[in-house]
A and B are shown apart, each in its own frame.
Chain A
Amino acid sequence: MWPAQRAEETPVSCAWAQERLPGYLDGDQAPRDLRRLRTHLEGCPACRRELAICRHTERLLSSALPSAPPAGDLRAGFYARLAASSAAARRPAWSGWLAAPLAVLLLCAYLFLRPHPAEHHAEIASLPKPLSAARAELHVPAMPVRASAQSQQNKTRMAARRQALAMRIAARLRRLPVRFASRRSQRFLIAGARRHSPFRMVSVVASWGPIHAKWAAALHRAEERAKQVALAEDRQLGTEVRQENVASARLLPASDEVDFSVRDDVRGFSAGAHVTQLPAAENGGPVLVIEEKSAALSPVEGSAAGADN
Chain B
Amino acid sequence: MARRSPARSGGSGHESMSQEACTVGWESLMNGERAGTADDDSSLVARFLRGDSAAFDTLFLRYQDYVYHIIYGIVGSAEESRDLTQEVFLQVYRALPRFRQGSRFATWLYRIAVNRAVDAARGARRWRLLPLLEEPSLANQVAAPEEEPQSVIERQEARSAVQQVLMRCPLAHRQVLALRYYRGLSLEEIAETLGCSVTAAKVRLHRARGVFKDHYLAVMGPDASDEIAMENADVARTTR
Spell out A's residues near B (CB within 8 Å).
Answer: 22-29, 34, 38, 41-42, 48-49, 51-71, 73-75, 77-78, 81-82, 85, 138-144, 146, 154, 157-158, 160-162, 164-165, 168-169, 172-173, 175-180, 227, 230-231, 234, 288, 290
Contacts and interface: CB of A to CB of B under 8 A. Distances in A.
Interface of B: prevailing SS: helix
16 contacts: A25-B19, A41-B235, A41-B239, A55-B234, A56-B228, A64-B166, A65-B6, A65-B29, A74-B60, A77-B86, A139-B79, A141-B133, A176-B132, A178-B127, A231-B125, A288-B132
Most chain A beta-carbon neighbours within 10 Å: one of B149, B210, B212: B149
Interface residues of B, number: 90
Given A62-B29, A231-B128, 14 more contacts: A22-B205, A23-B206, A25-B24, A26-B17, A41-B239, A48-B235, A55-B235, A58-B24, A74-B60, A78-B60, A164-B149, A172-B132, A173-B132, A180-B129
A74 B149 contact: no
Contact of B14 (A26, A140, A141): A26
A61 B181 contact: yes
Contact of B234 (A22, A52, A227): A52
Contacts of B210: 22
Contact of B25 (A26, A56, A63): A63
A71 B229 CA distance: 40
Most chain B beta-carbon neighbours within 10 Å: one of A29, A164, A180: A164
B72 A66 contact: yes
A77 B138 contact: no
B132 A49 contact: no
Interface of B: 1, 3-4, 6, 14, 16-21, 23-26, 29, 57, 60-61, 64-65, 68-69, 72, 78-79, 81-83, 85-87, 89-90, 93, 125-140, 142-143, 145, 148-150, 152-153, 155, 158-159, 161-163, 166, 177, 180-182, 202, 205-206, 209-210, 212-213, 216-217, 224, 227-229, 231-232, 234-236, 239-240
A49 B72 contact: no
Contact of A78 (B29, B86, B129): B86
A143 B139 contact: yes
A59 B25 contact: yes
B118 to A, nearest CB: 19
Most chain A beta-carbon neighbours within 10 Å: one of B57, B155, B181: B181
Contacts of B153: 161, 164
B72 A38 contact: no
Nearest to B239: A41
Nearest to A228: B127
B19 A64 contact: no
Contacts of B86: 74, 77-78, 81
Contact of B232 (A38, A52, A160): A52
A67 B129 contact: no
Contacts of A27: 14, 16-21
A68 B181 CA distance: 14
Given A53-B217, A68-B68, A42 B240 contact: yes
A165 B136 contact: no
A57 B213 contact: yes
A56 B161 CA distance: 13
Contacts of A49: 228, 232, 235
A118 to B, nearest CB: 26
Contact of A168 (B18, B133, B166): B133
Contacts of A231: 125, 127-128
Contacts of A164: 149, 153
Given A62-B181, A154-B145, A161-B152, A56 B231 contact: yes
